[in-house]
Amino acid sequence: MSVVHLSGRLFILASALLLSALPASARTAKLGVGLFAPELGLTPYEQFDEIDRLARHLATELGTPVVGRSYKVPRDLGADLRANRVQLALIGGFHLSSMSGVVKLLAVAAGGGAEGSRWSLMAAQQTNLRAVRGQVLQLPNVSPAVADFVEHGLLESNISLLKLFKVASSPGLFSAVEAVRLGAAVAVLAPVDTKGLVPLLPRTLRVPPPGVVLLSSDLAPELVEPLTRALLSYRGGKSLASGFVTGELRTYQGFAAARRRQRLALVPVAPEALPLRQGQWLAPQTVALELPELTVADLFATVRPP
């Protein structure tokens, strides 16, 4: 059993589609399971331990070799997917929400509850946005779209984060929070129950829990059901002590809308519906708030540099 820890920056999701063209004869008997969930707040050693525990459990339940791999950034998960070294992965709620249209959800982590956890901008002491403007905001590398989640989901603003903060990036939640505790940053995107930190904003994001997804079709169809059962029977280490439960992709698709700017759409109405005298107004249903769906182009969007 081996655990591999890799690093990089981007994850090209189209690799899942490319692997679907592999013939059945090319399918491997070895199963690879990856871990990219920075929001779990694990140290590198704890990441190794968690994915190794999961791999050993799946190997026992399925009776087939399973290799666990841990990743700092999604780009390297994509590289292993293209190289056919990993077929499924435990992925954090932020990143999974941006790719939920091209994966099959097998199970979700039970520890944070079915609705996930609440996140906000957190500071070491009580303050306000105006007082910390121009200082360092530490963002954990939970998703290439993390800045969009903060701008549109938390700040509900069209103003770039770069005009409010000096933005810095950390490979995971653990190191991002430490930056605030050590005074290297004034605030961090983190769960609202982070010990020793207080919310900078009244608004929060409800982040879905990490989920295990099937990334590749390079897996015998008859293994999917036993694999799901094996996941649901798992009780892991520090972050997965409560194991997994079933979940729905629409939870992640709904959260994905938080990173998109809302647009006002005026719906045409018949002439007879228009006001005929002063004091009359259009019916409320003639105005709709549009939340556009994610497109394929979103999956290839360039990460905004900090």
Print pLDDT tens along the chain (306 aa): 444 444 333 333 333 333 343 334 334 468 999 999 988 888 888 999 999 999 999 999 999 999 999 998 888 888 998 888 999 999 999 999 887 566 889 999 987 555 678 999 999 999 988 899 999 999 999 988 899 889 888 887 767 888 899 999 998 898 999 999 999 999 999 999 999 999 998 889 999 999 999 987 777 888 899 999 999 999 887 788 889 999 988 888 888 876 665 443 444 444 444 444 444 444 433 333 333 333 333 333 333 333
pTM exceeding 0.85: no
Query: Rounded to an integer, what distance in angstroms lies between the CA atom of residue 253 and that of residue 211?
Result: 13
Q: According to the model, what pLDDT value does residue 39 have?
A: 85
Same domain, 72 and 104: yes
Asked if 131 and 166 sit in the same domain, the reply is yes
Which residues, other chains included, contact 88 with Cβ-Cβ below 8 Å and sequence gap of 6+?
31, 32, 33, 34, 106, 212, 213, 214, 215, 216, 219, 227
Residues 149, 188 within the same domain: yes
242 within a domain of the structure (yes/no): yes
Structural contact between residues 145 and 294, judged by C-beta atoms closer than 8 angstroms? no
Instruction: Tell whether 302 is covered by a domain.
Output: no
Same domain, 156 and 168: yes
In a domain, 76, yes or no: yes
Please list, in sequence order, all residues whose beta carbon lies within 8 angstroms of the beta carbon of residue 274, skipping any fewer than 6 positions away: 282
The answer to whether residue 131 sits within a structural domain is yes
304 in a domain, yes or no? no
> Same structural domain for residues 123 and 165?
yes
Instruction: Check which CATH number belongs to the domain holding 162 and give it.
Output: 3.40.190.10
Q: Which long-range contacts (CB under 8 A, 24 or more apart) does 222-226 make?
A: 223/31, 223/62, 223/64, 224/104, 224/106, 226/61, 226/62
200 in a domain, yes or no? yes
Q: 95 lies in a domain? A: yes
Domain count of the chain? 3
pLDDT of residue 41: 82
**Structural domain boundaries enclosing 200:** 117-207
93 and 195 part of one domain: no
In a domain, 303, yes or no: no
pLDDT at position 67, please?
96
Locate 125 and state its tokens. Answer: 């002491």
Q: Is the dihedral of CA 140, 142, 144, 146 positive or negative?
A: negative
User: How many other CB atoms are found less than 10 A from the CB of residue 208?
Assistant: 27
Same domain, 89 and 203: no
pLDDT of residue 263: 43
Q: Is the same domain home to 100 and 225?
A: yes
Residues 214 and 102 in one domain: yes
Q: Pick the last residue of a domain from 207, 227, 244.
A: 207
- Domain identity same for 25 and 85: yes
- Looking at the structure, tell me whether residues 134 and 223 fall in a common domain: no
Instruction: Mark whether 203 and 91 lie in a shared domain.
Output: no
